[in-house]
């Protein structure tokens, strides 16, 4: 069953608490919480105090996507704030297995991601350790980018890695690209504009799932 994780970057930040309640009622399966530090990617977004506040407004799990340098420094903050899944970038972490172990020790699920041009084969060493691999459909950092044509191929290549993990795809996911992602092996679709379009959250989520 395909799961939809709306990206809160596309929500109305003036009323995030209300937005996530609407998303829960509309059938969202989890919430994608992008964290950017202005260094690993050229943008700044949410911090742990915002996550901690939002946790009070929903029962949906939060998938925290860390697009930051030195993720080992900030992971404990998001563990304490209530993250359910913490995904960090392979390129930003010198000791991924140690950080995955730390996340697991606190009862959280660990995810790993890479930039689109990073060789998928580099993830093979971690397939049996992580719970999720996040395939980027765009260069991380900004919403609204065009979906990269090689994304389904990279999803399929990730599917061949040994391990019991889910595959999520993030960036450029919409009604046109979602079927190709699903066919290639994606389990979770992270979508921003496609979910929030025309204020029709429930209809958009169903359409992304192919229902």
Catalytic residue among 34, 63, 131, 187: 34
Catalytic annotation on 34? yes
Query: What is d(CA 116, CA 155) in angstroms, rounded to the nearest whole number?
Result: 11
* Distance separating alpha carbons of residues 62 and 29, to the nearest angstrom: 10
Query: Which of 29, 37, 63, 170 is flagged as catalytic?
Result: 170
Alpha helices in the chain (DSSP H): 16-26, 48-54, 71-81, 96-105, 151-159, 178-184, 193-196, 201-209
Q: Is 29 a catalytic residue?
A: no
Single out the residue of 149, 200, 119, 170 nearest to residue 3, CA to CA. 170
Three-state SS for 194?
A: helix
Token digits of residue 85: 């899944």
Q: What is the DSSP letter of 71?
A: H
- Give me the active site residues, please: 34, 170
């Amino acid at each position: 069953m395909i799961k939809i994780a709306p990206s809160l970057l596309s929500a109305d930040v003036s009323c995030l608490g209300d937005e996530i309640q609407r998303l829960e009622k509309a059938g969202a399966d989890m919430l994608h919480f992008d964290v950017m530090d202005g260094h690993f990617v050229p943008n700044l977004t949410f911090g742990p105090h915002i996550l901690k506040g939002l946790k009070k407004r929903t029962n949906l799990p939060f998938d925290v996507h860390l697009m930051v340098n030195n993720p080992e420094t900030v992971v404990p903050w998001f563990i304490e704030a209530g993250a359910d899944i913490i995904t960090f970038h392979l390129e930003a972490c010198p000791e991924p297995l140690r950080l995955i172990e730390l996340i697991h020790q606190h009862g959280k699920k660990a995810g790993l991601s890479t930039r689109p041009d990073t060789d998928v084969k580099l993830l093979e060493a971690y397939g049996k350790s992580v719970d999720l691999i996040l395939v980027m459909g765009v260069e991380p950092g900004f919403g609204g980018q065009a979906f990269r044509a090689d994304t389904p191929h990279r999803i399929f290549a990730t599917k061949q890695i040994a391990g019991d993990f889910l595959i999520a795809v993030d960036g450029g996911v919409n009604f046109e690209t979602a079927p190709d992602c699903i066919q290639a092996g994606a389990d979770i679709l992270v979508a921003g504009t496609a979910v929030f379009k025309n204020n029709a959250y429930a209809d958009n989520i169903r359409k992304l799932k192919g229902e």
